[in-house]
Amino acid sequence: MTRTRSKRWNLAEAKAHLSELVERAARGEEIIIAHRGAPKARLVPLADDGKRALRVPGKFKGLFQTKSDFDDPLPPEVLAAFYEPL
């Protein structure tokens, strides 16, 4: 996807034409949104790098082990540290 030259829009115009600007950005146009003449944001298309995979349940099954005492009560000195004033 190639980007075309960016165009600057003031905030009020951008609010009024947001759906159009989003479509233009999705097609590759870079949109600069300015407030009081100063650029504040850039609207660009999302990068579709194909690297984002869906999460797969159980993918890491068997790779991590929990100690048998994981759910045991904390020692008194550690528990007391949670209730000490800062």
Topology (CATH) of 4-43: YefM-like fold (3.40.1620)
Write out the two tokens for 9.
Answer: 């829009």
List pLDDT tens digits, range 22-75. Answer: 999 989 899 999 999 999 999 988 876 666 667 888 888 889 888 999 999 999
pTM of the model: 0.50
The per-residue pLDDT for 14 is 95
pLDDT of 1 strictly over 50 = no
The per-residue pLDDT for 57 is 87
Place of tokens 């020692």: 75
- Among 21, 20, 19, residue whose Cα is nearest residue 8: 21
Answer whether 11's CB lies under 8 Å from 1's CB: no
The full set of domain ranges for the chain reads 4-43
List pLDDT tens digits, range 69-82. Answer: 999 999 999 999 99
Quote helix, strand, coil % in the chain, to nearest 5.
25, 25, 50
